[in-house]
């Protein structure tokens, strides 16, 4: 086998790996988008006073399944009383997994 074919094969493999990584990275929501989904969900409880979210996702097990999630907190004004919640949101779908 000629060396150039070997190098071409390695080059194609590297490009395929980079394209796969990019496609997988684009599948996840940004932390800002996940926070916006969470704010919308909590706005049904009352007026959102403030919120924060971690910038990088972490692995979390829920109902026997592993998720990449963002964790954060939110303050909501409910019946003239401010309540603070911590939440866990799926980084792929923006679904609120749990809050307390």
Mind listing the pLDDT tens digit for each residue in 16-48?
777 777 666 666 899 999 999 999 999 999 999
Cβ atoms 74, 50 nearer than 8 A: yes
Q: Report pTM.
A: 0.72
pLDDT at 97 over 80: yes
C-alpha distances out from residue 51 to 55, 59, 63, 66, Å: 13, 21, 26, 25
What the chain holds in terms of domains, given with CATH numbers, is: 29-99 (3.10.450.40)
For the chain, how many residues are written? 100
CA nearest 86: which of 96, 68, 72? 72
């Amino acid at each position: 086998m000629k060396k150039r074919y070997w190098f071409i094969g390695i080059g194609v493999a590297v490009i395929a790996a980079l394209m796969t990584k990019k496609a997988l990275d684009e599948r996840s929501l940004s932390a800002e988008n996940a926070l916006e989904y969470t704010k919308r969900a909590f706005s049904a409880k009352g007026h959102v006073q403030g919120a924060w979210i971690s910038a990088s996702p972490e692995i979390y097990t829920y109902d026997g399944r592993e998720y990449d999630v963002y964790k954060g907190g939110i303050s909501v004004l409910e019946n003239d009383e401010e309540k603070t919640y911590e939440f866990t949101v799926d980084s792929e779908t923006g679904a609120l997994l749990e809050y307390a």
